[in-house]
Amino acid sequence: SDYGLNANWNIRARLQYGGVQWLTIDPAIGVIEEDQSQVVTVNFDATNLEPGTYNANIRISNNSINEQLVIVPVTLVVSEPVMYTLTLLVNPDDAGVVTGSGTYTAGTVVTVNAVANEGYEFINWTDADDNVVSDVAENEITVNEDLTFIANFELTVNVFDIWESQLSIYPNPASDIINFISNDNIRKLELFTLTGQKVYGAEVNHNNYKLDVSGLPQGFYIVKLTNMEGEIHTTRILIAR
């Protein structure tokens, strides 16, 4: 700035330096006898540091007769964190809700949980190769690689279903066509094997429906019916020829 003075300017300032925050040594000062040694621990802390290379010097001075300053170079390399993905699936698709999936730093311990929807019950967790890894719904998983787990559920059958007095299913056993007639409109009809595999699904929105089962193998199946209020009811049918 031009203050109109023909003179030199002296600027005086006080500089303060807090040291390298990611590097500490212990002990930082001490006394040792001649020809003796002292172990000094060097600690690195990469907390809140961006990935990159950080450099510093440890300066060791002494009060010996031939005083010399010893400089020890220090380098810290902060790498990008290693991330892995934990994928959680549900079998059958609408049988329940799972929590805990996501991408995590290597070594993170994640709590995974499976909660069955109405009409289902939890069976087990399996991996991508169909190996059973747990029969408990809630587990702690250490993520050290990409992982995929499937929460398996099966339908629960209630032979005293509250729709029993309102719903007619015939013929049962059936060979080709099964009729569903209800006092209450059926919003959705789904058909599952006893192991929970979904083999059929349809939006009905009516109080009667004809289901063609001629292309299905013989055996017992679970019918899952949803009414207009979203209430779920299940029963068992038999396909026989």
| Per-residue pLDDT reduced to its tens digit, 44-88 | 999 889 999 999 999 888 877 777 788 999 999 999 889 999 999
Q: What pLDDT is recorded for position 241? A: 84
Residue 12: band (very low, low, confident or very high) from pLDDT cuts 50, 70, 90: confident
Q: What pLDDT is recorded for position 48? A: 87
Residues 6 or more apart in contact with residue 28 via CB below 8 angstroms:
none
The pTM assigned to this predicted structure is 0.49
Q: What pLDDT is recorded for position 160? A: 44
Written as one string, the DSSP assignment of 151-179 is: EEEEE---TT-TTTTTEEEESSSBSSEEE
Q: What pLDDT is recorded for position 30? A: 86
How many CB atoms neighbour CB 55 within 10 A?
10
Q: What pLDDT is recorded for position 159? A: 42
More confident residue, 234 or 171: 171
| Per-residue pLDDT reduced to its tens digit, 159-177 | 445 455 678 889 999 999 9
Q: How far apart are CA 122 and CA 116, in angstroms?
A: 6
Q: How far apart are CA 169 and CA 87, in angstroms?
A: 40
**Which tokens sit at 203?**
């939006």
Average pLDDT over every residue of 89-98: 90
Tell me what the pLDDT averaged over the chain comes to.
87
More confident residue, 106 or 158: 106
